[in-house]
Structure formats: structure tokens, C-alpha cells
Amino acid sequence: MLVKGSESGDETKPYRRIVFYHQTHYKDDRYISIQPTILPTAGVTHVIIAAIHLNTPTRITLNNDLYDADKFIPLWDEVKQLQAAGIKVLGMLGGAAQGSYTKLDGSLEGFHRWYQPLRRMIKWAGFDGLDLDIEEAMSLGGVIRLIDHLKTDFGQSFLVTLAPVAPALRNEQNLGGFNMEDLEKGLGSRIAWYNTQFYCGWGDMSEPHDYDRIIARGWPQEKVVIGLVTNPSNCSGYVQETKLRKCLGELVRKYPRIGGVMGWEYYNARTEESSEPWKWAEMINDILNCDSKMQGEKEIYEGHKS
């Protein structure tokens, strides 16, 4: 593939991100707060609010409810708090529910019928970007048109990401049907990174081989974010902490500009010692930035010696 030099210029530090998807906003009628992601030890860089669905031009929903429903008032308040703390907040369009991308993949007139209300929703929410989780057939031209409109309307700093399954970056199987390598070659400078799913049978992160194979095809390491499930109940492919630390540690040493880690999803993220979601991010932060912490400790030690 060899797509060197296609890095997006939309971020000041385009690597070692810690990304949380947040789709379950209520559990047993209890609101799930995302405020703890602000904690410095968590190291969270991005939160992706899921999932936006285009039902009718006048009915865009966040999961099953209108995005401006009263139940989401605390969510949108917290989104502003996260952004004020420096965390970028994106929306996620699509996912397992079908239909949104089919609606955007027709004629130009049909495209605008659905895109314009989506554009208004993005502006209303104040998102820093949009994650395209395309799990239904869509043409390459349709994807390019959507990305071009998003970047034109919201500016070059607006983050556009995609959420492919890992085989799609090896040109083996893409749920959207289009060629991911062709998309990156032609439009890579407008795509910030790829939230790559290494779970649900699409990859294995107990060993580094699946990530190695993607980078060996020429994908820029800083654009391939490793997607993990944060709880074994979320999907197959959950990796126990000991194995995960070993695998990610090896990848960080091999790829110092590694794109980072994404967790699906926030509300039930856990470690072996804690069921607090932010503790999962803290664990990932410890793994991704272990070398910088060691360097800082070394500098402090040498400063004391002198």
C-alpha cells in the first residue's frame, strides 16, 4: 500500500490517543456521567458520543431518542465540560443499525436532503469531529463526498475518523464494501485516524501480530488506533490485563508514534481491580506513556544528583 506522508494535520499530537466511545448514557434509569474522563491520570484525549441515526430528515436520533430530548441535557452539559478541559468530543454516525449511510449515498439532491439536518445537528452539539462507523454498503465516492462536505463546512480542524474492522486495513473485508486503502491514498490528509476494531472476531490483541500486519502494508502507525472492548460482556475478544500490557507494551516500543487505543465502551469499562470506567483509561495511559514517565523520573533523579 505504502501511503507515507498522508498524516492528517488536524491534531497537535497525532499519536498515543486514548479514545472512549460512549453509547450507553443511561443504565437501569441511572445517568452515566462522563465527567471522570477529565481526571489527568486517565489521560483521555477524545470521547465519541454514539450513536447518531438518520431516521427521517426531521428525526435524527441519538440511539433511540431525539438528540435534543430532555434526557440528554446532562450529557450535553458534560460535553461542554470535557471540551473546556481540553478533551475533544466527536459524534459517531451509524454503527450496527442500518440505513444512515444508504441515505447519504444517493444522488446529490438526495444527499443534501439528509446531510443538511445532520450538519445542523453537528453544529447544535458543538462536536469537534464526526466518527464514521460504516457497517453497511456505501460507495467510495459517497464516502469521499461526505468527508469533503464535513471538512468544507466545519473547517480543517474538524476531526473526521472512521471505524473499520481490522481486516479492512489489510484489504480483506470491509463492512462498507469500499476499499479502505484507496480511500486513504486519495483522501488520507482529510482523515484524522482510524478507530480499528480488533474485537468481535475481527482481530486479536493478545499478541501484536494483527497490528504488525497492518503497519507492514504501509499504514501510518499514528493513524491506526487499536480498538478494544473494555468489558468481556461487550463482545468477544476481551484481553486480560496481563496479556494486554505485554502486547501493547511491545507495540509501543516497536512503534513510538502508535495511534493509541480506543475502548468500546465507557459505561462498563473495568480493570481487574476496579469497575470505575476511568480506571481502564488510567491503565491504558500507563501502558502507552510508560517510556515518557520513566524519562521524566530519570530527569528528576539526575537533577537531584546535580
Output the pLDDT for position 11.
Answer: 64
Find the helix or strand (DSSP H, E) in which 228 lies.
strand 224-229
In order along its 306 residues, the chain shows pLDDT tens digits of 655 545 554 565 678 999 999 999 999 999 999 999 999 999 999 999 999 999 999 899 999 999 999 999 999 999 999 999 999 999 999 998 899 999 999 999 999 999 999 999 999 999 999 999 999 999 999 999 999 999 999 999 999 999 999 999 999 989 999 999 999 999 999 999 999 999 999 999 999 999 999 999 999 999 999 999 999 999 999 999 999 999 999 999 999 999 999 999 999 999 999 999 999 999 999 999 986 554 444 344 345 444
Domain that holds residue 216: 17-305
In a domain, 1, yes or no: no
Output the pLDDT for position 292.
Answer: 58
CATH number for the domain including 296?
Answer: 3.20.20.80
Output the pLDDT for position 290.
Answer: 82
In a domain, 114, yes or no: yes
In a domain, 5, yes or no: no
In a domain, 7, yes or no: no
- Residue 89 contacts residue 43 (beta carbons within 8 Å): no
Q: How many domains does the chain have?
A: 1
Output the pLDDT for position 302.
Answer: 46
- Residue 198 contacts residue 170 (beta carbons within 8 Å): no
Find the helix or strand (DSSP H, E) in which 195 lies.
strand 193-197
Beta strands in 67-178 (DSSP E): 88-94, 129-133, 159-162
Q: Round to whole Å and give the CA distance between 289 and 271.
A: 18
In a domain, 115, yes or no: yes
In a domain, 213, yes or no: yes
Query: Could you tell me which residues come within 8 angstroms of residue 118 by beta carbon, excluding any fewer than 6 positions away?
Result: 52, 54, 60, 93, 104
In a domain, 206, yes or no: yes
- Residue 46 contacts residue 19 (beta carbons within 8 Å): yes
